[in-house]
Amino acid sequence: MTTEPAPAGRSLAPDLARGLMLLLIALAHAPGFLSSWRSGTPWLDDVTLLVKSLVADNQARAMFVFLFGYGMGQLAHRHHARGGDWPGLRTLLRRRSIWLVLIGFAHTILLVPIDIVAIYGLALLLFTPLVRATDKTLGWTAALTLVPATLLLAWQSVNAQLGLEAGTPVTFAQFMEPNYGAHVLANATKPAQAVLGVVMVLPGMLLGIWAARRGFLDRPAEHRSTLRRAALGLLTLALIGRLPAALLAAGVWHTDSTSLQWTVAVAHDLTGFAGGIGLAAAVGLASARIGTRPGRLTTALAALGQRSLTFYLFQSAVWLALFYPFTFDLRDEVSLAGSYGIAAAIFAVSVLLAEWMRRTGQRGPMEVLVRRMSYPRTTPVPSRQGSAS
């Protein structure tokens, strides 16, 4: 397998983590467009539900959010390294956040209502000063917001489990409109829900900023011991905390106790934060082992990570094309396991497209848009490939 140096000026680990993250996001989202999760081979549906709950649900989001915060920490570091001051950084972050909100709203209205980008933007817009807060402030704010964030996620998880047990999983299929015009109109009010999501992203975002200050993913070789402990400890914690909910989702056991359902959901979603960060640490550890000459697959995955916003939206365009009544309308035709096959195929295509874009010197169009619109017209845009988005 041939190798080549990593792109100059970029760290491998954050890009590689963002690339792999898109697979988890695809696995988390694909089942949400099906009418039923029990239309295929029973044992295969059970296994898929187990994997979905254990690996993807509320863990892909946690990894996404942590990496977003890490990217903001990287951006702040680069800004100060170029001699920039706080007012300039504040302006940059606010412009960036506004464009993320606009892109996220357009994503929700025009494509599918599963957006996280606008929530990122709102969180950054409302809490911009936290980017330069002390480590102590970041820690306390993350800890305090972790409580309502976990409770909101647990409430969603309990409702989802009740729907699954009743044979009517909570999916978008129930609310799909017959034509695209009605789809756009129905989604026009959905962006308002982004406000409720802000509290759910703050803990991970703030921990990402804290981690970026220490360069855990930028210089993973210097932090092997820390990354090893974080990966092993956090992923073990996530496995222990998330396994009961996964077994419940797969139908291995059942409970009518509301308090037990809530306990399982809280453990699942709380340790999902740990799992998301643990996965990022594991990728950092792998990057330290890979060094400065990644192989073809690693290079392609990193290329995908450099264009993560573009391919996040690409996934949504595919969901719209495949599952809605005014497109191919596969919501009643695809089994749960089949949706995972589609998710894997979309991820594979994304990797190939991203590698082709890298080879032909094309950056992600959404990354280009955010970068250009984030910097004031009088400020030259830094010539850095990719984006921290």
> What are the pLDDT digits (tens) for 138-189?
999 999 999 999 999 999 999 998 888 887 888 999 999 999 999 999 999 9
With a cut of 50, say whether residue 334 has pLDDT above it. Answer: yes
Q: Where are the domains of the chain?
A: 12-374
DSSP H helical ranges for the chain: 12-29, 42-51, 60-81, 86-106, 117-126, 135-165, 180-187, 194-214, 224-249, 258-290, 296-306, 308-323, 336-359, 365-374
Taking residues 126-138, report their average pLDDT: 95
Task: For residue range 273-330, list pLDDT tens digits in order.
Answer: 999 999 999 999 999 999 878 999 999 999 999 999 999 999 999 999 999 999 999 9
Q: Phi and psi at residue 365, in whole multiples of 5°?
A: -60, -35
Q: Confidence band (pLDDT; 50, 70, 90) for 377? A: low
What is the dihedral angle through the alpha carbons of 56, 201, 68, 205, rounded to the nearest 10 degrees?
Answer: -120
Cβ(318)–Cβ(347) under 8 Å? Answer: no
Block residue for tokens 């080549």: 4
Taking residues 358-378, report their average pLDDT: 89
Percent of the chain clearing pLDDT 70 (strictly above): 94
Strands, E assignment, 26-154: none
Block residue for tokens 């041939």: 2
Instruction: Give the span between the Cα atoms of 244 and 38, in whole angstroms.
Output: 20
H or E element, residue 19: helix 12-29
Instruction: Give the span between the Cα atoms of 17 and 33, in whole angstroms.
Output: 26
Cβ(191)–Cβ(108) under 8 Å? Answer: yes
pTM score: 0.92
Provide the token pair at 339. Answer: 């949706």
Instruction: Give the span between the Cα atoms of 63 and 208, in whole angstroms.
Output: 9
Classify residue 115 by its DSSP letter: -
SS3 366: helix
